[in-house]
Structure 1
Amino acid sequence: MKLPDGLMESTGEAYGYAKAYVEQQIEYAKLDVAERISTAISSAITTIVVLQLVFFFCGFLSIALGIYVGQRMDSYVKGFLLVGGIYALFTIVLIIFRRPLVTNPVVSRIIKIFFEVK
């Protein structure tokens, strides 16, 4: 049984359109993944730079606080021990509450970057 020529042409056109559509979707997916990865990397780099600046600020502030407290207590050792104790206490609190303070916000940010609907 021979199919009509019009049907063969329509089938060929439909196949061509479907093939072009699939190729476009693959290209779109590649571009979308590249954009999301670029956004994640740039966000990570920005965060790292800001954190470095915060660490420098905290470092200089800690030295200044240690010297100030040391002068008030007439012992630089006691001043720097007090500042170290404050950091130890801060570290313990951070370890205890790491999930709500660190883990959850980081995971939420990554999920938001990768699964953001446009």
Structure 2
Amino acid sequence: MAFEELKEHTENIQDQANVYFKSHMAYYKLWGFKVAMKSTTLILKFTLVLLCFSMVLLFGSVAAGFALSNWFGSYTFGFLAVGGIYLLATILLLLIKDKIVEGPILEKFSEIFFND
């Protein structure tokens, strides 16, 4: 009789462990889906903003090139001046890229993954 009770309790424990495992698997699937969707939408938003900013920068650069060309009296010097401004901006960004890019991105993805 004791053996049958022990067998019953063992089967009950196995059933409960199976239910526990399945519920946790479902939870982590949903959690993974949520994190993947938040990350995907964040990247998509960033890409759209970057695309719009690139268009503004392109047309602004052409306008600045023509404006400086008028001021210098030469198209070559005007567009070289715009190129020089971008060269200086690129060098500046290379010097401070970790503070501007790496920190905020790491912070945002840490918030997505660990704060929920």
TM-score by length of 1: 0.86
Q: Provide the residue aligned with 1:63 in structure 2.
A: 62
Unaligned runs of 5+ in 2: none
Q: Shift of the alpha carbon at 1:105?
A: 1.4
In structure 2, C-alpha distance between the alignment counterparts of 1:88 and 1:55, rounded to whole Å: 16
Q: Shift of the alpha carbon at 1:11?
A: 4.5
Residue identity in the other structure for 1:36: V
Q: Shift of the alpha carbon at 1:5?
A: 5.7
Q: Provide the residue aligned with 1:15 in structure 2.
A: 14
Q: Shift of the alpha carbon at 1:75?
A: 1.2
In structure 1, C-alpha distance between the alignment counterparts of 2:111 and 2:82, rounded to whole Å: 37
Identity of aligned residues (%): 28
Q: How many aligned residue pairs are there? A: 116
Unaligned runs of 5+ in 1: none
Q: Provide the residue aligned with 1:95 in structure 2.
A: 94
Q: How does 1:38-117 map to 2 (within 5 A)?
A: 38-117=37-116
In structure 1, C-alpha distance between the alignment counterparts of 2:65 and 2:34, rounded to whole Å: 46
Q: 1:35 aligned to 2:34?
A: yes
Residue identity in the other structure for 2:104: P
Q: Shift of the alpha carbon at 1:58?
A: 0.4
C-alpha distance after superposition, 1:8-54 (max 9, x if no partner): 54553343223212210111101101110111111111111110110
Is the partner of 1:97 in helix, strand or coil? helix
Residue identity in the other structure for 2:24: Q
Higher helix share: 2
